Structure 1
Amino acid sequence: FEYPNGLAFSPDERVLYVANTRHAQYIHAIELDDAGNMVRRRIFADMSSEETDGVPDGMKVDVEGRVYCTGPGGTWVFAPDGSRLGIIRTPEIPANLCFGGPDLRNENLTAETQRSPSNHTSSFPRKREPRACPWLEQGASSSVPAHLDPRFRGGDGNRRAKMKVGIALNMLSEPPRPDVAVVSDHMAMGDLAEPLGFDSLFALEHHFTGYAMSPAPLELLAYYAGRTKRIVLGTAVIVLPWHDPIRVAEGIALLDILSGGRCLFGFGRGAASVEYEGFRIPMEEARPRFAEAAQLIRTALREPEFEWQGEFYQIPKTSIRPRPISHPEERFYASSVSPESAEIMAKLGFGILVVMQNEWAKAAESIVSYREIAQSVGHNPPPPIILTNVSCAESRDEAHDRAMMWLGKKWESIDNHYHFSDGHLATVKGYETYGKMAKTYARLQSEEERVRATEFYVKIQIVGTPEDCIQQIGELQRVTGTDHVVTEFSFGGIPHDDAEKNMRLFASRVLPVLQNDSAFAAPPAPVTQGTTSSDLFAPA
């Protein structure tokens, strides 16, 4: 730095912004790890101006991550990605600033009260007094916040709890469309996540059938790590029995660095025999392979040097390099769909990631059981992450019709991939509980049964007007205790324009309420209540 001056943290305290007050008029962004160590430094914004007076000086950040920095002509306002939103013009050269007034809609400034002589070379004001600069009229500009939360990030260190909302990329193939066209559509949805205000982006893992054309979730997320600054990047899930756990640990460590620690990792063991056959892994070994790989990966990331002697993996003394920066092994989640898997994952201390595939109350029972198992061995798991489909529209009929049409198209792709209808999983060790779904999926060959199943499935997703979606997610949180909902807006081959319309309406009318209404801030403990039995299962 030539002359570091104004300082402010991003809302998550992972980025320190520093104004450089001299000839190179930049705002620098210093990315930090959990311990506050610098990961990297980059130029966030250039405040060079043809105006002769004023330099980057005082700085504040609001709860949405917008950066306000006094400088030439007034207060410059930047989006979290560094793009300039505009300048709040002031009649005098501003120096420092803070938000004030009863509703925090005023910008209070220190500013000079007399212009410096024209031959005065210093850019600094000679005398400063606080001045109030009224905020722009509400609605005058979409790039300026309508209000500022009292708990804005000005360095006081207070962290405001909020519900987190993300998106997941499914990438179901759509014959006869080329695969590249489908992938491109979903990648475009991923590019919208951060600008529209979502908190996270999740990548799936599937292989061989086109059920979800996402074979390398860590590589996909590395792409988005370079295209985003704020959102958390997550896997839903990495199927551990299919992989060398050392390579998984290396990929996690590298993504941790590339993203500056804004990542979490979901793991699972998979239920498709076609994928086990393609990777030449005996499916009956899935459960013990998963358990051993999960423990091995956690050890590899936690220990600078380690060795391993297990049933499936024998590793001489080695080290994962580069080392991760933020202890990603403390942000592991597991997708559990069978009692056998749930017990293993809970005892490993993982959080739970639940794909909403059955009644919410039934999911809550599984979550409560999971927490009890984890707590019995000394773990206190975080609130569950819930994955759900969303159909949000201006009218209930439009939302319901979209959900019935496109979620209804999932059944054929599910059975083509998993072959539940033939009952073969009933004889596979560790997958016996899946066998009972054979009759259910066999019945779905009937159009009448398929409609009935789709009606049930639509009822357990988030479907309706923006107001309906808010109410339903509130109930989902009450029942499950979640503080992080991951949504899918593009499902079943829905046309891209309709999927984006779905996503944008949700982002504009639902997302701000979930993130800012205190009613959603603190998740309750999950509750259990009577449920009806169902053998329907619609995996991610």
Structure 2
Amino acid sequence: MQIGHLNVMQNWHKDLDDYQMYQGEIDLAVAADERGFDSLWCVEHHFEDYGLCPDNIQYLSYLATKTKRAKLVPGAVILPWNDPLRIAEKMAMLEYFAPGRVGLGIGRGLARREYVGMRIPMEEARGRFDEAARLVLKALETGYMESDTALFKQPRVEIRPRPLKSYYDDLNCVAMSNDSALAAAEIGGSMMTFIQFAFSRHLPMINLYRDRFREVHGREAPPCTLTDVTVIHEDEEEARRLAYEHIGNHYMAVTDHYEFAGDHFKGIRGYESYQTGADLIKSAGLEESQRTYIEAQNYGTPKQVIEKYRERLELVGEFNAMLVLSFGGISFENAQNSLRVFADKVMPELRKMHTNTRQASQAA
């Protein structure tokens, strides 16, 4: 089992400016490296408090100098918003700052306001993602990029510094819909998804991904990465209080940022399933939808968190875990406490659970 830490780079802190917020996020990532997390990830978001990292590869290049062991993964580069050539060049550079510990994460993006700000028609998202993914992966394997299509016209150029590795076997794809799950499977990537509702509702998409991966590649899919907005505290009531305040804040931010109260998804190819989710939120009501979201996340005492992971392991088999510990205005003191308690009391149990599961599977 691989355990990752994801910086979402939100500034809902009433008492911190953006510089202070960044220092807190950096300190959290460095602490995750020191406490044995396997990977450090960072989102790409633009223009507002929801996420203050317009270039996650640049951020990871800085972390490369501050960390020693964890893999560094953009989580994710949003392909439709970026020039494929520049992604390949920046990934190649990142390898030189952290040789042997770089992964690639790609995504399609969902927020209409970010598409508008980046001047990219949202209707082109699927095509841009598919084509850019092929171009970036090929360039990082061959050392050059060229293309002559309606979306990307690129004369042949070399990638310098030269890439140190191929990413066909080290690719992570963010998937929040069946469409994206199928795209991840077809390109051969490991699927990373955010927990949104009761885990049983995630199983059909996970199985869809696995089935399609097996069909296309003739082998089993790599473990999925399951991402939780996480609060861990030794005191059960305090864990619940923090979760309902700050995971609740985060849910409201998600709903606003992605405009889940609107109807615009239904007319955009590849985003139709998000309209179904938006309609469910409206029919259930915002307060009930918020409560459902909070309860889906993995929060609580170490024992409660371990038990939720155990239930998922029984349902889905081997998976990787990702934690978001700073979000929704939670203090960095509380985020660091969650990280410390997780590393000391949860992480060892998770690793044992997965080892036992793998050994039992091999024996069978």
| 2:295 counterpart of 1:459 | yes
1:382 aligns with 2:222: yes
2:235 to 380, 395, 400: 395
For 2:350, the equivalent position in structure 1 comes to 514
Aligned partners of 2:250 and 2:211: how far apart in 1?
Answer: 34
- Return closer, same or farther for 1:437/1:371 CA change in 2, 3 Å cut-off: closer
Pick closer, same or farther for the CA change 1:440–1:327 going to 2, 3 Å: same
Q: Distance in 2 between matches of 1:379 and 1:261?
A: 27
The counterpart of 1:179, out of the listed 1, 7, 18, is 18
Q: 1:223 aligns with which of 62, 86, 91?
A: 62
Q: Which has the higher contact order (CA 8 A, sep 6+)?
A: 2
2:95 is aligned, of 232, 243, 256, to 256
Contact 2:197 2:296 in 1 (8 A): yes
Residue-by-residue CA offset, 1:129-172 (whole Å, 9 max, x unaligned): xxxxxxxxxxxxxxxxxxxxxxxxxxxxxxxxxx2212111121
Task: Work out whether residues 232 and 302 of structure 2, in 8 Å CA contact, stay in contact via their aligned partners in 1.
Answer: yes
Deviations 1:98-137 (A, max 9, x none): xxxxxxxxxxxxxxxxxxxxxxxxxxxxxxxxxxxxxxxx
Q: CA deviation at 1:406?
A: 0.8
Return the offset for 1:405: 1.2
* Matched pairs, number: 359
Match of 2:182 among 328, 343, 346: 343
Q: What is the identity, as a one-letter code, of the residue corresponding to 2:233?
A: A
- Does 1:169 pair with 2:7? yes
Check whether the contact 2:33–2:70 (CA below 8 A) recurs between aligned residues.
yes
* 1:412 aligned onto 2:238: no
How many angstroms does 1:458 deviate by? 2.5
- The Cα offsets for residues 218-276 of structure 1, whole Å up to 9 and x where unpaired, read as 01111111111211111211110000001001111111221112121221111111111
1:319 Cα shift? Answer: 1.6
Bigger share in helix: 2
Contact between 1:392 and 1:465, CA under 8 Å: does it hold in 2? yes
Say which of 324, 328, 336 aligns to 1:500. Answer: 336
1:265 partnered with 2:265: no
String of CA shifts for 1:448-503, please: whole Å, max 9, x gaps.
x4442233222221122112222221222332334421101122111121111121
Q: Which residue of 2 aligns with 1:243?
A: 82
Matches for 1:121-132 after TM superposition, within 5 Å = none
Equivalence map 1:304-383=2 (5 Å) = 304-378=143-217, 380=219, 381-383=221-223
The residue identity in structure 1 corresponding to 2:323 is T
**Could you tell me which amino acid in structure 2 is paired with residue 507 of structure 1?**
A
Please give the residue correspondences for 1:10-29 in structure 2 after superposition, counting only pairs within 5 Å.
Answer: none
| 1:434-445 to 2 correspondences below 5 Å | 434-442=274-282
Quote the Cα distance in structure 2 between the aligned partners of 1:518 and 1:416: 37
Deviates more, 1:455-464 or 1:368-377: 455-464
Offset at residue 442 of structure 1 (A): 4.3
Q: Sort the Cα spacing of 1:398 and 1:343 in 2 relative to 1 into closer, same or farther, 3 A.
A: same
Cα distance, 1:459–1:416 mapped onto 2, change above 3 Å: closer
2:93 maps to amino acid: L
**Map of 1:201 onto structure 2:** 40
Deviations 1:29-68 (A, max 9, x none): xxxxxxxxxxxxxxxxxxxxxxxxxxxxxxxxxxxxxxxx
Counterpart CA distance in 2 for 1:437 and 1:199 is: 32
Judge which range, 286-295 or 363-372, deviates more.
Answer: 363-372
Distance 1:339 1:296 in 2: 23
Map of 2:305 onto structure 1: 469
Answer yes or no: is 1:290 the counterpart of 2:132: no
The residue number in structure 2 matching 1:114 is none
**AA aligned opposite 2:49:** G
Question: Is contact 1:408–1:451 with CA below 8 Å preserved after alignment?
Answer: no
Q: Residue 524 of structure 1: CA displacement?
A: 8.8
Preserved contact between residue 80 and residue 128 of structure 2 (Cα < 8 Å): yes
Secondary structure, in 3 states, of the residue corresponding to 1:328? coil
CA contact (8 A) 1:225 1:258 kept: yes
Larger radius of gyration: 1
The question of whether the paired residues in 1 share the 8 Å contact of 2:3 and 2:37 is answered with: yes
CA distance in 2, matches of 1:225, 1:279: 28
Contact 1:343 1:373 in 2 (8 A): yes
Instruction: Judging by fraction of residues, say which structure has more strand.
Output: 1
Paired residue type of 2:251: W
More displaced 10-residue stretch of structure 1: 500-509 or 243-252: 500-509
Gaps in structure 1 of 5+ consecutive residues: 1-162, 526-540
Cα distance in structure 2, aligned partners of 1:244 and 1:434: 26
SS in 2 for 1:510: helix
Q: Which of 273, 279, 286 in structure 2 is aligned with 1:433?
A: 273
